[in-house]
């Protein structure tokens, strides 16, 4: 141990000597930036993890970092001084002071503090890293790698000085070439060309030429680029026949010494579609990954320790190299029924005990996957029915890469989830393995250590033998094209912490953990404003989930807004008068008691059918008899309960009583209504909600799924049973947030979103309304400057799911499982950015 400490101290001394050696300030320098944190204001630093101020320091707790961007444009002889101290570090934990001259793409370590030097002693560095002169993209970073929030790193001072007078001019940077690899004829691959301005004055893009077919420019946002900024050109390659192809793009700009630059484009196509890996989303690492878990030996020789590992070991490493093997075919796991380990954390309904059960093991796994570049995706999406009595798989896209330690193999990580049969809880995991083109494959290591589920929480992990059968997948070219369009069509995203920089004065933590919510309970959280999706969450019991874009969350009752509300408002647009159709006219099972002939579709959507037992808030919905709706797998049982359980107590449209069974009735009635209008093969989810609302938004195939009964009727649940990726949530929320659109009936949409003061809806609780499947809360007293009533519409789902459709054209959401619905902090912070007041 003492030897390790001496080595670290020696390295620290060497670092300080290095930075001192390259310092050469010979004239009086100006202060470009300086902060000793005495004011306690650190809003100009972008934080990740737990970062605050304490006793005139910037304090980092556990695994955390704080970054500050500084422009040194116009300055030479730039010098950077950093001062830090530390406390409570253990072996293997460090505090770093770091500098980046390329906008954060790479970092140079200026200071390192380790165990043994963590006694409050101040350590200083003062130097000039190469490239810091005349640089609009200089960044400073304080970073700690402690394992707990009891490990502290302190930033005492950050200062940048330099001598003014350097000339400023634009400087273009573009990649010299773009290679699309080999596709099958008829397939399409797309890549983005990033044009950067690494100079210190604005760059004007004068012209970008069109390449020859089969290459084309499918998107271009390049015009004027600020110093240190960039823009992108989307280029597509669509070969219709086999062959090798090349072309080029000429970019002319105001760069004084490089007014014209050429980007060469290459690609090939062959009928077999194999032989090389497409260059979709290329990786640029060397493959030199320092791996301490899930190594090649572990996966090939079955040497797994049988313990849970941090999810970082499943993640795409920073030095990942482009894969040299191409996966297309079937992956089968062996021994699922007996393999693996299970550890229970919460089991409200006592599903499992000490004995072994099928619920403690994976279901049978044998599925087709297709690789495109560094991505791999399943042919089947959504919840996949199986013979397993409890579990169904939900498969989502993953990644493929090379590591030098894996020799001739390529490595795959596949996100997946287990969903309880006939239910909505989602248990997220990742599996990983090695493979080669010839069908060689390692064991598959898998791990589940997080969920969006209030009542059943567990870890499941293990390592199983596997079989890989390479073969052509039907329609693979079209599948690849659709997948690439899915990825390229995602809404632009940034971390929530970037809100502090993009909207100065914003406290992003009010979005990340509103009203003191425990971050460990939050699966996904996001905020959409001005076309950008700011994201957070992805917490698990084993570190951050590594594939947040592929993490699946359940809808629960937010489906009442999106599915039931969206479909009925769409039908009202297509067929005026749909809201006033009678439930009893379309469901013969409901005609035995006469309680449904005067209940309209709109009444059912509003939870105002007049049929109930107890009028108390959620009294009926919380009763044990609702098991007769949720547990049966067939339509006949569900519809019988929904039609006959509740007696008539009030005139329809006058009393709010929450029943998921009422939404099931509405879905059944709408389905019969649509079949009568559009043909017996029509379906409200496939042909109305998905085809006419969701698909045009560009949602993922994951979102194009609805839970249905397991019989021949296959009735969509309507009030629950959808699933989404976070990009889907952002797009769906933004769709509803738009002030007007031609897809839904405008009057009913305005009523749902509280834009019509004459139609607020029914009242579940004081200061709450429920209208067309959407909740609303009156919050004018909580928003500064709002004197008129302010009703905020939102969707809500069981366990702790909230999606706010805010009247300032922003969207806020989180998916959690602590049975809390706390979002006022987030609404107030959105109001601080842009007023919510009417």
Report pLDDT digits (tens) over 639-678.
999 999 999 999 999 999 999 999 999 999 999 999 999 9
**Nearest partner of 578 among 653, 662, 676, judged by Cα:** 676
What are the phi and psi torsion angles at 618 (to 5°)? 60, 15
Q: Are 111 and 141 in contact (CB under 8 A)?
A: no
Cα 491 from chain centroid? 10
Q: State the number of CA atoms in the 13 A half-sphere of 664 facing the CB.
A: 30
The whole-number average pLDDT for the span 744-750 is 96
Q: State the number of CA atoms in the 13 A half-sphere of 84 facing the CB.
A: 32
β-strand partners of 12:
none
Paired tokens of 437: 């083109």
Residue 271: the pLDDT is: 57
**Nearest partner of 188 among 489, 490, 477, judged by Cα:** 477
Q: How far apart are CA 411 and CA 405, in angstroms?
A: 10
Query: In what order do the strands lie in the sheet containing 230-237?
Result: 172-173, 189-197, 230-237, 215-220
**Nearest partner of 535 among 561, 558, 512, judged by Cα:** 512
Examine residue 214 and say whether the peptide bond preceding it is cis (omega within 30 degrees of 0).
yes
Which one-letter DSSP state was computed for residue 578? G
496 pLDDT more than 80:
yes
Which one-letter DSSP state was computed for residue 591? G
Three-state DSSP state, 689: helix
Residue 459: the pLDDT is: 98
β-strand partners of 113:
95
- Over the chain, what is the mean pLDDT? 91
**Nearest partner of 414 among 551, 265, 556, 574, judged by Cα:** 551
What are the phi and psi torsion angles at 427 (to 5°)? -115, 110
pLDDT in tens, 625-642: 999 999 999 999 999 999
Tell me which residue has tokens 């030897």.
Answer: 3
Q: Residue 294 contacts by C-beta under 8 Å, 6 or more apart in sequence?
A: 309, 313, 314, 432, 445
305 pLDDT more than 90:
no
Question: How many residues comprise the chain?
Answer: 838
Q: State the number of CA atoms in the 13 A half-sphere of 284 facing the CB.
A: 5
Torsion of CA 727, 731, 733, 737, to 10 degrees: 150
Q: How far apart are CA 106 and CA 124, in angstroms?
A: 21
Low-confidence winner among 99-108, 151-160, 422-431, 480-489 (lowest mean pLDDT): 99-108
Distances in Å between the Cα of 572 and the Cα atoms of 557, 677, 679, 762, 815 are: 22, 13, 18, 20, 30
**Nearest partner of 405 among 275, 326, 282, 317, judged by Cα:** 317
Per-residue pLDDT band at 27 (split at 50, 70, 90): low
Per-residue pLDDT band at 22 (split at 50, 70, 90): very low
Long-range contacts of 353-356 (CB under 8 A, 24+ apart): none
Question: Strand runs (DSSP E) across 94-176, as ranges?
Answer: 94-100, 108-114, 123-127, 138-145, 152-164, 172-173
Which carries the bigger pLDDT value, residue 822 or residue 202? 822
Residue 306: the pLDDT is: 81
468 pLDDT more than 80:
yes
Paired tokens of 474: 């039907």
pTM score, whole prediction? 0.70
23 pLDDT more than 50:
no
Low-confidence winner among 113-127, 316-330, 719-733 (lowest mean pLDDT): 113-127
pLDDT in tens, 600-634: 999 999 999 999 999 999 999 999 999 999 999 99
Q: What are the b/e assignments for 737-762, b being 16+ CB within 10 Å?
A: beeeeebbbbebbbbbbbbeeeebbb
Residue 276: the pLDDT is: 47
- Crossing angle of helices 566-574/660-678, nearest 10°? 30
Per-residue pLDDT band at 26 (split at 50, 70, 90): very low
Q: How far apart are CA 514 and CA 499, in angstroms?
A: 15
């Amino acid at each position: 141990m003492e030897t390790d400490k001496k080595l670290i101290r020696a390295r620290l001394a060497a670092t300080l000597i290095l930075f001192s050696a390259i310092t050469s300030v010979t004239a009086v320098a100006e202060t470009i930036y300086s902060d000793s944190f005495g004011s306690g204001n650190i809003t100009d630093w972008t934080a990740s993890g737990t970062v605050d101020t304490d006793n005139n320091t910037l304090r980092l707790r556990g695994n955390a970092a704080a970054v500050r961007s500084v422009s040194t444009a116009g300055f030479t002889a730039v010098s950077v001084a950093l001062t830090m101290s530390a406390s409570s570090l253990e072996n293997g934990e460090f505090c770093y002071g770091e500098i980046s001259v390329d906008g954060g793409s790479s970092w140079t370590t200026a200071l390192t503090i380790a165990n043994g030097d963590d006694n409050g002693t101040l350590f200083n560095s003062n130097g000039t890293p190469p490239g810091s002169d005349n640089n609009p993209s200089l960044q400073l970073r304080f970073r700690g790698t402690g394992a707990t929030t009891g490990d502290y790193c302190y930033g005492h001072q950050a200062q940048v000085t330099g001598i003014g007078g350097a000339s400023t001019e634009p400087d273009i940077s573009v990649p010299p070439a773009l290679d699309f690899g080999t596709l099958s004829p008829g397939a399409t691959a797309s890549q983005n060309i990033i044009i950067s301005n690494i100079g210190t004055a604005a760059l004007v893009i004068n012209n970008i030429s069109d390449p020859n077919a089969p290459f084309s420019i499918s998107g271009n946002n390049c015009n004027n680029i600020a110093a240190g900024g960039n823009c992108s050109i989307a280029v597509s390659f669509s070969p219709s026949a086999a062959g090798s192809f090349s072309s080029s793009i000429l970019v002319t700009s105001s760069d004084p010494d490089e007014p014209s630059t050429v980007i060469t484009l290459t690609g090939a196509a062959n009928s077999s579609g194999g032989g090389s890996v497409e260059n979709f989303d290329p990786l640029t690492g060397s493959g030199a990954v320092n791996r301490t878990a899930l190594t090649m030996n572990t996966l090939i020789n079955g040497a797994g320790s049988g313990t849970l590992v941090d999810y970082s070991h499943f993640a795409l490493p920073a030095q990942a190299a482009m894969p040299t093997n191409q996966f297309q075919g079937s992956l089968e796991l062996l021994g699922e029924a007996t393999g693996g380990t299970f550890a229970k954390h919460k089991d409200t309904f006592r599903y499992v005990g000490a004995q072994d059960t099928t619920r403690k093991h994976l279901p049978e796994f044998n599925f087709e996957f297709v690789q495109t570049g560094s991505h791999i995706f399943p042919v089947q999406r959504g919840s996949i029915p199986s013979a397993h009595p409890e579990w169904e798989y939900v498969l989502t896209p993953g990644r493929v890469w090379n590591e030098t330690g894996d020799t001739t193999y390529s490595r795959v990580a596949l996100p997946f989830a287990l969903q309880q049969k006939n239910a909505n809880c989602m248990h997220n995991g990742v599996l990983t393995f090695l493979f080669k083109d010839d069908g060689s494959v390692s064991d598959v290591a898998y791990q589940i250590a997080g969920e969006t589920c209030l009542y059943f929480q567990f870890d499941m992990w293990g390592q199983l033998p596997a079989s890989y059968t390479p073969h052509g997948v039907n329609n693979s070219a079209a599948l690849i094209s659709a997948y690439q369009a899915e990825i390229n069509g995602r809404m632009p995203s940034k971390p929530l912490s970037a809100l502090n920089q993009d909207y100065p004065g914003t406290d992003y933590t009010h979005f990340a953990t509103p009203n003191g919510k425990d971050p460990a309970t939050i699966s996904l959280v996001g905020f959409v404003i001005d076309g950008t999706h700011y994201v957070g969450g992805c917490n698990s019991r084993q570190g951050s989930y590594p594939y947040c874009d592929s993490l699946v969350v359940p809808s629960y009752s937010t489906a009442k807004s999106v599915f039931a509300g969206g479909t009925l408002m769409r039908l009202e647009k297509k067929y005026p008068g749909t809201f006033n159709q009678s439930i009893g006219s379309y469901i013969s099972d409901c005609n035995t008691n006469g309680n449904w002939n005067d209940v309209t579709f709109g009444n059912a959507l509003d939870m105002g059918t007049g049929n109930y037992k107890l009028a108390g808030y959620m009294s009926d919905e919380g009763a044990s008899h609702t098991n007769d709706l949720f547990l049966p797998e067939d339509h006949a049982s569900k519809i019988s309960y929904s039609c006959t359980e509740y007696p008539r107590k009030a005139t329809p449209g006058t009393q709010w009583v929450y029943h998921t069974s009422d939404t099931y009735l509405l879905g059944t009635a709408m389905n019969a209504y649509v079949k009568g209008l559009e043909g017996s093969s029509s379906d409200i989810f496939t042909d109305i909600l998905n085809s006419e609302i969701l698909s045009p938004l560009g949602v993922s195939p994951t979102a194009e799924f609805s839970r249905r009964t397991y019989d021949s009727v296959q009735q969509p649940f309507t009030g629950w049973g959808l699933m989404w990726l976070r990009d889907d949530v952002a797009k769906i929320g933004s769709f509803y947030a738009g002030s007007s659109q031609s897809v839904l009936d405008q009057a009913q949409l305005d009523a749902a979103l509280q834009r019509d003061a004459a139609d607020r809806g029914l009242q579940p609780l004081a200061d709450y309304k429920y209208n067309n499947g959407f909740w609303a809360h009156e919050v004018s007293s909580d928003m500064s400057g709002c004197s008129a009533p302010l009703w905020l519409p939102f969707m809500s789902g069981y366990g702790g799911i909230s999606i706010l459709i805010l009247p300032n054209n922003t969207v806020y959401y989180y998916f959690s499982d602590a049975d809390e619905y706390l979002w006022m902090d987030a609404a107030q912070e959105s109001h601080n950015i842009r007023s919510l007041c009417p």
